[in-house]
Amino acid sequence: MWADLGIDNFPADGIVWPRSLAPTVASLEWLGLDAELDWEIIGGRLYVKFPEGKAHLRAKGAIATWLVQALAALLGSTETRWDVREEIRVQFPRGFYQPDATAFVGELPPEEDAETAVRPVLVVEVESRARGNRRRPRDKRADYRQLGVGQVWVWLADEKVEVVRSDGSVSVYRPGEHPAIPFGEYGDAELAVEVTTVLAGVRAEQVRAERAEQRALDESRQRQQAEQRALDESRQRQQAEQRARQAEQETRNVQMQVRAIEVRLALALGHTTEVQEALLSLSLDERGALCELLGPNAAEAVSAILAAQDAPVDADDGHQGCP
């Protein structure tokens, strides 16, 4: 039945994860749930992470930028390996958590991995919802602390940055203050910017992303309009070419009808030279069309006149009179 559960109808309070089943991606696929969904296993329950609004979604890039700057300042001159990842699932004994940004130092997960058992030194969670709706993010705190993972919580609604160290101590930084970001045994790194700038950066990232999305939509719409215009222009060219061919054919038909009248008059008046010249000036196809217009009697008379006067054979088609 889990195969029918998409993000739109997944229970908001999650589904109980079977105790006998290891919390792995393979288990998720075996149960028939789409592994591509944004999911977490928290406290023995499986949750699908519902979209929380653009402020939350766009914060990840800005937060990752702050972590990169902090780690570069702290470890940039050393040989210690480090990395910052967004939306990587971290496996813990009680399940999988998916922080908004995760910092690894020393041992790093492979770049192509979407899940890892490598223990991070720091996780960042961005929270933009009202205080009364923060139960699930708060549930992660004890597990993070028990595993010795430092935490940074960015509260957009309250305009503060909260740092929870691995020893359980909590520091709250408000506008005008510079957060000190703990990286476990590697030490603390004070951000070069204060809380207001961090929050503004998150929001600026949101605005930039929204503008980029709008530009992409506009460009896509413009491409579609250009493609439609090209199709319309191609169709119009084809129609114009068709009309031109029809007009040309109609002109040839009129000219041939006039020529047939001229030949009939020449036959009636006995002007055999004019008949000969008129016929030999035409191509084989044109001659055939003229003979059809003249009718069998006139066509036979034309051929007889040309044969009697030893008219030269046409070099292209080998005929004297009507084909």
CA distance 222 to 38: 32
User: pLDDT tens digits for 107-124?
Assistant: 999 988 888 889 899 898
109: domain range?
52-193
User: Does any domain span residue 302?
Assistant: no
User: Does any domain span residue 199?
Assistant: no
Residues 28 and 140 in one domain: no
User: pLDDT tens digits for 246-296?
Assistant: 999 888 888 888 888 888 888 888 888 888 888 778 887 887 888 888 888
Q: For residue 167, what is the domain's CATH number?
A: 3.90.1570.10
- Residue pair 266/274 in contact (Cβ under 8 Å)? The answer is yes
Domain finish residue from 169, 193, 217: 193
CA distance 98 to 30: 21
Find the distance separating the first CA and the last CA of the chain, reported in whole Å: 81
pLDDT at 41 over 80: no
Alpha-helical regions (H) of 270-283: 272-280
User: Does any domain span residue 287?
Assistant: no
Number of domains composing the chain: 2
Residues 188 and 58 in one domain: yes
Nearest to 14 by CA among 76, 88, 96, 87: 96
pLDDT at 238 over 90: yes
* pTM for the structure as a whole: 0.52
Which residues lie closer than 8 Å to 195 by C-beta, 6 or more apart? 159, 160, 161, 173, 174, 175, 176, 177, 178, 179
User: Does any domain span residue 278?
Assistant: no
